[in-house]
Amino acid sequence: MNGIEIRKEGRAGILTLNRPEALNALTHQICLDAEAALRTWIDDPEVAVVILEGAGPRAFCSGGDVVQAAQAGRQGDYSLGRNFWRDEYRLNLLLADYPKPIVSFLHGFVMGGGVGFGGLVSHRVVGESTQVAMPECGIGLIPDVGGTYLLSRVPGQAGLYLGLTAARMGPGDAIWAGFADSFIPEADWPAVKADLIASGEVKLPQHPAPNSPLAAQSAEIDRLFSAESIPAIMSALEAEGSELATSALKALRRNAPLSMASTLAMIRPGPATLTKALRQEFRWTWRSMDEGDFIEGVRAQLIDKDRKPVWKHASAAAVTAEDVAAMLAPLGADEWEEDQ
């Protein structure tokens, strides 16, 4: 069914993202179908628990399928992307606030929209293959789908580091950063799912979390990413010259300057609630095609793949506080509301 399998089995409702050839990237229709199923299951006495999973070996979900939105935007049609984000964010909030337990099994790539789909629920399971990242600044976006909410709650400055560099978190990192809850070896997942289906009760086996390289680097990250602006952070990285600093600086030089400045403003100090985060993120993404760099970023990274985007701002220093404020200003009649 349009890239998602929806079924009931035993005491469980199961949503399986089923676009393995596209690394289970979310489409607008997948979001609508998932939302409809979840709302039906709220009042279904046969469904005691919901399971989220991704088909194929490589990814739970690699993100939102943004190419179609960018291509429509290139033709002057911004509504396709705006409608997708509006409905996707409504799904994100439903997943986070769902009245029944939801267990997501986050294998392989869990990026961008995949974090919004599986990373906001009540029970988030990771395994050996898990790689979590928020790579939006590289395509002229900001860490959305609740990303600014999650990143603002990572210890120290590591959330800002993750949002700006798209650094990938393994399973130990994801648990340390608050993007996941439990590590279970992937060989055990079929048995764990079978127990959930049979019992409808969430009694996950307990395993120690793997080591977190991110936690081990946190003191250096805190020192390098504590400055008040993107140019100042880049200067600190240039002066440091360590392996981490060199890698981070390369990422920041590649990203959209407006996206990075906005990400900094949105993560520090961070939104008070997920709802406020999604509303603020929608203001930004709503404007991202005509006032931001989204169309150019997707062109350079995903369509033409020349990796040579021409951003609206020539450098991080060229972005003003007024530029960021304009992207985050209220939308009036177009504002995102959770009950739309």
Residue 325 lies in a domain: yes
Residue 9 lies in a domain: yes
pLDDT of residue 75 exceeding 90, the answer is yes
Residue 98 lies in a domain: yes
Residue 28 lies in a domain: yes
Residue 340 lies in a domain: no
Q: What is the pLDDT of residue 290?
A: 94
The span from the CA of 29 to the CA of 189, in Å, is 28
**Helix (H/G/I), strand (E/B), else coil: 38:** helix
Residue 315 lies in a domain: yes
pLDDT of residue 89 exceeding 70, the answer is yes
| pLDDT, tens digit (0-9, with 9 covering 90-100), for 15-66 | 999 999 999 999 999 999 999 999 999 999 999 999 999 999 999 999 998 9
Which residues constitute the domain of residue 101?
A: 4-334
Task: Tell the burial category of 181 from Cβ atoms under 10 Å away from its Cβ (0-12, 13-18, 19+).
Answer: middle
Judge whether 144 counts as a catalytic residue: yes
| pLDDT, tens digit (0-9, with 9 covering 90-100), for 103-116 | 999 999 999 999 99
The span from the CA of 67 to the CA of 48, in Å, is 36
- Percent of the chain scored above 70 by pLDDT? 99
Mean pLDDT, rounded, for 250-274: 97
Judge whether 138 counts as a catalytic residue: no
Residue 339 lies in a domain: no
Total domain count for the chain? Answer: 1
Sign of CA dihedral 176, 182, 186, 187: positive
pLDDT of residue 339 exceeding 80, the answer is no
Judge whether 113 counts as a catalytic residue: yes
- The catalytically annotated residue of 113, 127, 138, 140 is 113
Q: Which residue has the tokens 């909410």?
A: 149
Q: What is the pLDDT of residue 340?
A: 62
Q: What is the pLDDT of residue 1?
A: 55
Tokens of 263: 């990400």
Q: What is the pLDDT of residue 337?
A: 87
Mean pLDDT, rounded, for 77-88: 96
Q: Which residue has the tokens 């409702």?
A: 13
Q: What is the pLDDT of residue 338?
A: 78
Q: What is the DSSP string of 204-269?
A: PPP-PPPP-HHHHTHHHHHHHT-SSSHHHHHHHHHHH--HHHHHHHHHHHHS-HHHHHHHHHHHSS
Where residue 137 falls among pLDDT bands split at 50, 70, 90?
A: very high
| pLDDT, tens digit (0-9, with 9 covering 90-100), for 139-191 | 999 999 999 999 999 999 999 999 999 999 999 999 999 999 999 999 999 99
Residue 133 lies in a domain: yes
- The catalytically annotated residue of 136, 186, 281, 296 is 136
Judge whether 64 counts as a catalytic residue: yes
* 287: CATH: 3.90.226.10
- The catalytically annotated residue of 33, 53, 88, 144 is 144
- Mean pLDDT across the chain, nearest whole number? 97
